[in-house]
Structure 1
Amino acid sequence: MVRVSHSVSLADYRQALSTRGAGAPVLTSILARLPVAMIGLSLLLYVQRATGSFGVAGLVSAGNLVGVACGSVVQGRIMDRLGPTRPLLVVSTLFAGFVVAEIGMIEADGPGVAMVLLAVAVGTSEPMTGPASRALWTLLLPAGRVRDAAYSYEAISMEVFFILGPGIAGLLVTTPWPGTALVVGASCMILGSVGFAVTPAARRQRPVDDPPSGSLLGALATSGMRTLALAAFGFGLLLGMVEVAVPAAAERAGHAAVGGLLLSALSVSSVVFGVLYGTRPWPRPMYLRLPTLLTVFAVLVALLALPGTLAGLTVALLVAGSLVTPQSTAHSVALEAVAPEGTATEAFAWVITAVTLGAAAGQSLSGQLVEWRTSATAFLVAGGLGLVLGGLLWLRRRTLLPTPRNPEDRWATVGTTTG
């Protein structure tokens, strides 16, 4: 048979978040992850206002996401072997230095190439508190419905940050100095990451006794992880194209200041629908869920090209946003079925890498499309690419069926199973 994900209730969420030892990591990780949608967007809007070009700004933001993609896997692999405390303290220090250097380059009206390279460095050193936070639940909770609720909380909370982040960044960029958004976001990320690193639960997390060996791909060496990464890449690609096309549409409508707020609309319905979706996930089997969710999301993104007003675009974004959290949650839950043992942090880092690489490609492509044509063109191209990737996921769907390692794993694994 095909085993399905556990349905979770509000009581499961309460039990997970009230677990002994979870309070401090939850609170500090909130501060660390709040700016996750602010850094790249702050750079995008900051550079656009400094250079007057969405093309250059899109490349800088894409460079930042490429850095995040590279740094997340390296940090995840190190944290699986050393625990999260020392790595997070080191990268937080590096991150602060690179942010200062990037601001100096932008203020000095430096060359675009230098801005992009520094943006890559900023992204590479961005503290990966998200993967560390998710991995910590394996220490705090046994496998089962309550842990599923914790994973769902991680996905839903990220969407809350995606609601607040763009709105905060959009407002702060309109202040007399547009670099304010980047400074505020980086400061929150550093303080939260350092706070998380020194919590008792994080310091108690032990390195892997016998770390997995093999190719440089690590957790990505399995076919199921590669399929999951493809789903995450497609998800990030669509989001990245939307994140550039929406502010461009707002600017061309004469309301540049509301670009970030419009992006927040994408996540408002996502959070509400995400909580409901966790209680009745559909399609039930994970191997059908990932291609279905991406395909339908692609259709909804393409429909963003239809509205002729910002009010209509806002409504369309609310509709499209209903499938954002379900995908994030599905990615997180699918890891339990396909990730190799001993790679909890690294495996989730690969998902982040795939999403950010997709977003980087999407932002870069979308920046060129809105310069060449219109935001509607970017939405239509995004929808077409999403449909192609959804088809590829459908062809690879069987790789998401897990192979249990022992009798206990057979019942502990969530997402899908065979039998």
Structure 2
Amino acid sequence: MSTPERAPSYAAVLRTPYAARTFLSSLTGRLSYGTVFLSLMLALTASTGSYAVAGGVIALFGLAGSLLAPVRGGLIDRYGARRALVPMAVVYGGTLTALAAATWRPGTAPVWLLAALGGLAGLCAPPLGPTMRSVWSEIVPEPALRQRAYSLDTVCEELLFVTGPLIAGLLAALVRPAAGVAVSAGLVLAGTLAFTAAPPLRSTARKRPVRRPRGPGGVPVQPVAAAAGLGLMLGALTLLLVVYADGRGRIEAVAWLEAALAVGSALGGLLYGTRSWRRPARVRLPLLTTALAGVLAAAGLAPGLWALGAALAVAGVLVSPALTTAYLLADESATDENRIRIGTWVNTAFNFGSSLGSAGAGQLAGEVPVAACFALAAVPLLLSAAFAVRRRKFRSSGTLPYELTGAHQVR
């Protein structure tokens, strides 16, 4: 990467009119996604006594939420955030409330009902993250300030997924597991209502046309491929850390290994946002993903837990910048009429990749040495970087468009 220049401060982002209020309300709603997965797992396991049932319901919830996110994003692009997000949040929150009631006491609800409620909740999960990033692109149009806003957004979102399970565990211990599901419902309802009541969302709703999107409408291949590779790598890493620590008789070390990655990611995201980079995002992204893949492949060779923790902290420094750059690149390829749908493709790719990574690591663990598993988990990131470089060469020669055409869209 080229020599950076100093960017505007984070305070300048939050001083933008209505930015702090809008951002805080979106984080409140997004905290629901940090608490809900562990809360559901604990509540469903306590209610049914079956890990298989709990895992199946959560799989339905996660797949419906991830795979249909671009469809929900398209609805927001078409009808506006206030008209689309509020009904989604009401149905999502209501369904989670029903799940909390159904799992409050053991054995009181049939499995088919739990599965139906889990699938419906995922189907209607409001895409608050992509919508907030769309708002950032409108209220902070200056590129350097928008990069700072996206970095702040990515870091805060990651912190929500660190603190959310802690809240869920505390509620399970002090009240009961289903209480976390109920709190998740309350968070998304309160956060979405406050978010959509913010002035930027009201003005966006008035300006957004109520018709089918026009323009290129294609899927931004480079950031989606990078996000999928990043999700696959991190999804596999969670299980690989368990295998690595358990192999050394220190399974409890997984918690602080994950913390090292999270702290590094937060610091890396904040530092990345403090600079204005001369090279464009499409050049920075493959550099970041290649460096991250190299560090994580080497991490599998760490001789001990302390060395692995240090390697994970270094890798974490690159995680938030890579994801932030993917969001920025997707935003650059979007129009006002498809911005939220394009943003949800990055989220969908990351989440789907994470699921594949967890499943793939589970199949490999025990069959392949853990160091080789680390290296294999890094391969998708390297492939996404190679694809981006090759695509950029074709693009510069005028033989291949940067976007997939509309014929390849999920409609």
Q: Which amino acid aligns with 2:293?
A: A
- Supply the distance in 1 between the matched residues of 2:58 and 2:181 (Cα, whole angstroms): 12
Instruction: Give per-residue Cα distances to partners, 1:227-252, cap 9 Å, x unaligned.
Output: 22111111111122223444566678
**What one-letter code is carried by the residue in structure 1 that aligns with 2:69?**
S
Partner of 1:144: 143
Distance 1:191 1:287, change over 3 A: same
- Asked whether the equivalents of residues 78 and 213 of structure 2 are also in contact (C-alpha less than 8 Å), the reply is no
Gaps of 5+ in 2: 399-411
Aligned AA (1:130): G
TM-score by length of 2: 0.78
> 2:128 matched to 1:132?
no
Instruction: Letter of the 1:150 partner, please give it.
Output: A
Q: Tell me the distance in 2 between the aligned counterparts of 1:105 and 1:5.
A: 55
2-structure distance, mates of 1:171, 1:253 = 29
The answer to whether the 8 Å contact 1:155/1:328 transfers is: yes
CA deviation profile, 1:252-276 (whole Å, cap 9, x unmatched) = 8777777566434322111112222
Aligned-partner Cα distance in 1 for 2:296–2:55: 19
Q: Summarize deviations over 1:68-94 as a string: whole Å, max 9, x none.
A: 223421222121222211322211122
1:7-35: CA deviations, max 9, x gaps?
553x4422221112223212211212234
The amino acid that maps onto 1:358 is G
Deviates more, 1:169-178 or 1:354-363: 169-178
Residue in 2 that maps onto 1:69: 66
- Counterparts of 1:114 and 1:399 in 2: how far apart (Å)? 51
Correspondence for 1:87:
84
Deviation at 1:369, TM superposition (A): 4.0
Corresponding residue for residue 349 of structure 2: 354
- Contact persistence 2:297–2:378 (CA under 8 A): yes
C-alpha contact 2:18 2:199 (8 A) present in aligned 1: yes
- Contact kept? 1:305, 1:379, Cα under 8 Å: yes
CA 1:140–1:277: 2 relative to 1, 3 Å: closer
State TM-score, norm by structure 1: 0.77
Q: Separation in 2 of the partners of 1:330 and 1:38?
A: 26
Local SS of the residue matching 1:396: helix
Cα distance in 1, alignment partners of residues 303 and 50 from structure 2:
25
**Aligned-residue offset at 1:389:** 3.3
Alignment counterpart, residue 262 of structure 2, candidates 263, 267, 272:
267
Correspondent of 1:379 among 358, 365, 374 = 374
- Identical positions, percent: 29
Aligned partners of 2:227, 2:13: CA distance in 1, in Å? 25
1:17 matched residue in structure 2: 14
- Tell me how far apart the structure 2 counterparts of residues 156 and 262 of structure 1 sit (CA, whole Å): 18
1:326 partner amino acid: P
More moved, 57-66 vs 265-274: 57-66
Name the counterpart of 1:277: 272
Q: Per-residue displacement from partner, 1:301-343 (whole Å, max 9, x unpaired)?
A: 3344345765554333322211111012101221343223422
Q: 1:394 to 1:65 in 2, by over 3 A?
A: farther
Whether the aligned pair in 1 keeps the contact of 2:296 and 2:375 (CA below 8 Å) is yes
The correspondence of residues 257-406 of structure 1 with structure 2, limited to 5 A, is: 262-280=257-275, 284-307=279-302, 311-370=306-365, 378-398=373-393
Tell me, in whole angstroms, the C-alpha distance in 1 between the residues paired with 2:225 and 2:44.
Answer: 30
Query: Which letter maps to 1:364?
Result: A
Secondary structure in structure 2 of the residue aligned to 1:320: helix
* Distance in structure 2 (CA, Å) of the matches to 1:119 and 1:234: 27
Match of 1:231 in 2: 226
- The CA distance in 2 between the partners of 1:172 and 1:260, in whole Å, is 19
Q: State the shift of 1:382 in Å.
A: 1.4
Any conservation in 1 of the 2:96–2:121 contact (CA below 8 Å)? yes
Residues 1:75 and 1:5: Cα distance change in structure 2 (over 3 Å): farther
Task: Report the counterpart of residue 208 of structure 1 in structure 2.
Answer: 208
Query: Which range moves more in the overlay, 97-106 or 295-304?
Result: 97-106
Matches within 5 A, 1:167-182: 167-169=166-168, 177-182=176-181
- Count of aligned pairs: 393
| Distance verdict in 2 for CA 1:253–1:101, change over 3 Å | farther
